[in-house]
Structure 1
Amino acid sequence: MMRFDRFPVSTAVVRRLALASIVANVAIVGTGGAVRLTASGLGCPTWPRCTDESYTTTAEMGIHGVIEFGNRLLTFAVGLIALAALVAALLHPRRRRLLPLAVAVFLGIPAQAVIGGITVLTDLNPWVVGLHFLASTAVLVPAYALWRRSGEPDGPALPTVPAPLRTLTWLTVVVSAVVLVIGTWVTGSGPHAGDHGAARNGLDPETIAQVHADGVFLLIGLSVALWYAFRAVGATGAARAALLLLAVELGQGLIGFVQYFTHLPAILVGAHMVGSCLVWLATLAVLWATRERQPTAVPAPAAAGQSVAVG
């Protein structure tokens, strides 16, 4: 049986690969948005092949085929980064604390690819397209946790804020997730279907956009409350994270309002999709800031003349 501890990998390597995985998963959201916003969603009309006869795009399929096939190729790059992070976690001297997170990131990539295939096979069903986006945000959770966890000591995690504020933080996380979900409903009711013949979800665009905006206002209100509350209890790290979340939310909200009143130009819709990932990551950062791991206690050396009992 192979002993992985013969080939140790430093924590810094795991941390860099985890960060690369975060960046890659946000990037694939951006390229996936480009596929939809250029009406290239069926540039490769089948899956896993690009056509019935070929795994790659052909000249007859034009620019739409190139865009869709390019996004599929990026999935392999994201998967290779996740695989590298998994191998690095496996070779890390204390891999048990990192390995489950690395496995979750790695398994999330093929799951996301399968959902992407289903979107093609269902002719870009808007509910499946939304699920495809949400799968990317779900992979960001273990990827972010792997990045943060790899830079922490091995001691127990202790809260840095009182229990009521941890509850408020979790409520903010839930609302942030709900806002992401409703955002996919807004997209599914709008004009950017990914293909000129793709169906829409049937929801009234103005009504569901207002519901989404209401959720955003609630999320901003919770973020302001967290910022003030963290400052009041002297949790400076958590307060900084909440302020960053608020700043990202305001930037994302500005993009959202501008795109709505300018009739959804593709470039702003794409920026809004990437911004959604940034809001989610900033939300996870606030959650992470409410606890802190302590270094593992080192046993005190035995005093001179004392023996250490064994057994």
Structure 2
Amino acid sequence: MGVTDMTRPRALPRTDRWLRPLGWASLVANCVLVVTGGAVRLTGSGLGCPTWPRCNGRSFTPHGAYDIHAAIEFGNRMLTFVLVAVAVATFVAAWQSGRRDLRRLALVLALGIPAQAVIGGITVLTDLNPWIVSFHLLCSLAIIGVAVLFLHRLDHPAPPAVAAGPVTGLAWATFAAAWVVLYVGTVVTGSGPHAGDVDSPRNGLDPLQLSQLHADVVFLFVGLTVGLLFALLATGGSPVARRAVVVLLALEVGQGAIGFVQYFTDLPIVLVGFHMLGAALISAAATWVLIEVREPA
């Protein structure tokens, strides 16, 4: 074998070449699911299909004299089949790669989709109980984080051990604060309008007090992110980690601006929809930051 043969990169198997596009497809599709789920709630279509798994008592699809709400809710349910197809293809490709870490993450992604479908069914059967709706959204946000980790693992297999330090601890605190912000945001939503149906219950908590609590934890989140950025600059953190923190900080500023404007303009549905997209991006960015700080290249 000559030198040219020894230095030539090995051609990736066909399944390996599909792993990255499938990983991105999983990430994007779950972000789209968050937005379309928000559209269902914001248009009052949460009970457009009043039963589950059927759309109504007789059929899995809306038919006959049905309105736009049934079409919107049914369309959101159909997105589940796209997610299933992507998840199955990702798992098959990960299995063929022979890497155990990719197989585990692909399995989590695959199992997350039917789990979400069941939670969605419980949401409908409980007439859009706000606490279950909150859990439904949080599960999607968690799946988005797993998809980010999957994409990272394609080029960076899991290290045998990760050295802990003050900067890593600060990254974990920032990640935890992100999830506190996301959770409190869902509770705020459960106390206000846009329940998904005019007859759906609210959680009974005071929207004003919850909004103040949400703002407080957002300030904490932003402060931790700024502190993490300065810590990386002071300790010579990797450029990728610093870039990830800057992206997260930019998303926080954008989310905060949308949040304040929507609060003082009586929650217009367009802004609320963008705020939900921002929540999905925050979940992805916070995961990216934690990964890059813990496992610098």
Q: TM-score, normalised by structure 2?
A: 0.92
Identity of aligned residues (%): 54
**What root-mean-square deviation, in Å, do the aligned CA atoms of Structure 1 and Structure 2 show?**
1.6
Structure 1 partner of 2:178: 176
Q: Which among 181, 186, 189 is matched to residue 188 of structure 2?
A: 186
CA deviation vs aligned residue, 1:161-193 (integer Å, no higher than 9, x gap): x60110111011111111111011000011100
Q: Check if 1:252 corresponds to 2:255.
A: yes
Q: Which residue of 2 aligns with 1:30?
A: 35
Alignment-mate amino acid for residue 180 of structure 1: L
Match of 1:144 among 141, 148, 164: 148
Cross-structure match for 2:73: 68
1:284 aligns with 2:258: no
Q: Where do 1:70-149 residues align within 5 Å? A: 70-92=75-97, 94-149=98-153
Kindly tell me: are residues 78 and 30 of structure 1, through their superposed partners in 2, closer, same or farther at Cα, counting changes over 3 Å? same
Higher normalized helix content (fraction of residues): 2
Alignment of 1:265-304 (within 5 A): 265-292=268-295
**Number of residue equivalences:** 285
Q: Distance in 2 between matches of 1:255 and 1:9?
A: 43
Unmatched 5+ stretches in structure 1: 1-6, 295-311
Runs of 4+ in 1 over 3 A off after TM superposition: 7-12, 153-159, 291-294
Q: Distance in 2 between matches of 1:95 and 1:239?
A: 29
Q: What residue number does 1:15 align with? A: 20
3-state SS of the aligned residue for 1:98?
Answer: helix
Greater alpha carbon shift after TM alignment, 100-109 vs 171-180: 171-180
Q: Comparing 149-158 with 14-23, which one deviates more in the overlay?
A: 149-158
Distance 2:240 2:90 in 1: 27
Pair 155,279 (structure 1): closer, same or farther in 2 beyond 3 Å: closer
CA apart distance, 1:254? 0.5
Can you list the C-alpha shifts for 1:240-299, whole angstroms capped at 9, x where unaligned? 2111110010001111011001000001111101100111111111111113377xxxxx
In the aligned structure 1, how far is the partner of 2:215 from the partner of 2:267? 15
TM-score, normalised via structure 1 length = 0.88
Distance apart, 1:110 and its partner CA: 0.4
Q: What is the SS of the residue equivalent to 2:266?
A: coil
Higher-Rg member (1/2): 1
Q: Deviations over 1:62-90 (max 9, x none)?
A: 10000000000001101111111001101
Q: Which residue of the partner structure matches residue 229 of structure 2? A: 227
SS of 1:290's partner is helix
